[in-house]
Amino acid sequence: MYNRHLDTFIQAADCGSFLKASEKLYVSANAVTKQINLLEDHLGIKLFHRSTQGLVLTDAGKLIYAEAKRMIRHSNSILQKAKELENRQEYVIHIGLSLMNPASILLEQWHKASEQYPNIRLDIVPFEDTVPAFNEVLDNLGKKIDLISCPYQTNYWGDRYNSFHLCDLPMCVACSKTHRLATKSRLTVEDLHGETLLIEKRGITPYIDRVRDDLEQNHPQIHLRDLESVDLNQFNHIVSSNDLMLSAECWSGVHPLLTTLPVEWDSPFPYGLIYAKNPSKEVLQFIMAIGQVEV
């Protein structure tokens, strides 16, 4: 808000020497001299009498020196007030929400962090659980919807978003509540022998590919059936069939007639936030706040 060469001018006047001022400012004496020359040219005023004994302010220099100190103090005060005003300004972060993307983990994290960020408010924006609707959300991240919380490491969506890892969720199996396995609290892979398991086809999601590799090599007793993607239609199919489906813990409440059971294998679902390639500073501040909270 003011000519920064005034800082050099004040330091030179206080020190009485370009060399001593350069030591205080951690720049070369030549750089200090050049800055003072530029300031004098800009103002059209001679600020110093220069001699081998050092620097002495001219009468005009004494006036500039006194007024510059007041100007800098006033400028810094204005900047501080502006920053305080900006910090008080309320920012709204728009969270996308659907049955398949419930945001419960994200909202729990925000509940822990929100007291430190009173200027951030969340707005929940619902969207449909269809492939076209989700693709539209991805294409317009940062507009109506700033971010979504979901299992995020997939090649299916392409390179249209940034991601932030929140936690790893247990990889589960979903089945009808009438299925023979529904009464169990936890499954082993051997429990799945003789069953048909719906699983995303190879090449869509890296960590699911690793599960496929293990099942195909070590558990041929499990019949695998390819899925293009997981949506509500697939959940409805599981209810009306005797099939199982690979699922994430965060989808346990998607369908009231399904049971979601964790399976004893070392293959978690990476869960986190997806947001725009060029997010606003408010969205980044929100993500940083979430990232500071332990899951």
Looking at this protein, which amino acid is placed at residue 130?
T
**162-169/269-275 β-pairing:** antiparallel
Average pLDDT estimate for 166-187: 93
Residue 172: its pLDDT value, please? 93
pLDDT, tens digit (0-9, with 9 covering 90-100), for 138-161: 999 999 999 999 888 777 777 889
Averaged confidence pLDDT in the chain? 88
Strands 244-248 and 120-126: unpaired
Average pLDDT on 198-227 reads 91
User: What's the sign of the alpha-carbon dihedral 136, 137, 140, 143?
Assistant: positive
Reduce the secondary structure of the chain to three states and give it as a string. CCCCHHHHHHHHHHHCCHHHHHHHHCCCHHHHHHHHHHHHHHHCCCCEEEECCEEEECHHHHHHHHHHHHHHHHHHHHHHHHHHHHHHCCEEEEEEECCCCCCHHHHHHHHHHHHHCCCEEEEEEECCCCHHHHHHHHHCECCCECEEEEECCCCCCCCCCEEEEEEEECEEEEEECCCCCCCCCCECHHHHCCCEEEEECCCCCHHHHHHHHHHHHHCCCCEEEEECCCCHHHHHHHHHCCCEEEEEHHHCCCCCCEEEEEECCCCCEEEEEEECCCCCHHHHHHHHHHHCCCC
Helix, strand or coil for residue 154? Answer: coil
Mean pLDDT, range 63-92, rounded to an integer: 78
Work out the pLDDT band at 173, boundaries 50, 70, 90: very high
What pLDDT score does 294 carry?
Answer: 64
Task: Answer yes or no: is pLDDT of 1 > 60.
Answer: no
Q: Does residue 242 register a pLDDT over 80?
A: yes
- Is the model's pLDDT at 36 over the cut of 70? yes
The pLDDT value recorded for residue 52 is: 85
pLDDT number for residue 136: 92
Residue 295 has pLDDT above 60, yes or no: no
Is residue 173 a contact partner of residue 215, using CB atoms and an 8 Å limit? Answer: no
Position 266 scores a pLDDT of 79
- Residue 182, pLDDT score: 95
The predicted pLDDT at position 93 comes to 94
**pLDDT higher than 60, residue 186:** yes
CA 194 – CA 202 distance, rounded (Å) = 21
The pLDDT, as a whole number, for residue 198 is: 96
pLDDT band of residue 95 (cuts 50, 70, 90) is very high
- When pLDDT is averaged across residues 92-102 and rounded to a whole number, the result is 92
pLDDT digits (tens, 9 = 90+) for 252-294: 888 999 999 999 887 788 899 999 999 998 899 899 888 877 6
98-119: pLDDT as tens digits: 988 989 989 998 988 888 888 8
Residue 74: which pLDDT band, with cuts at 50, 70 and 90?
confident
Counting Cα atoms < 13 Å in the Cβ hemisphere of 196 gives 10
pLDDT at position 3: 63
Residue 88 has pLDDT above 80, yes or no: no
Q: How many other CB atoms are found less than 10 A from the CB of residue 254?
A: 22
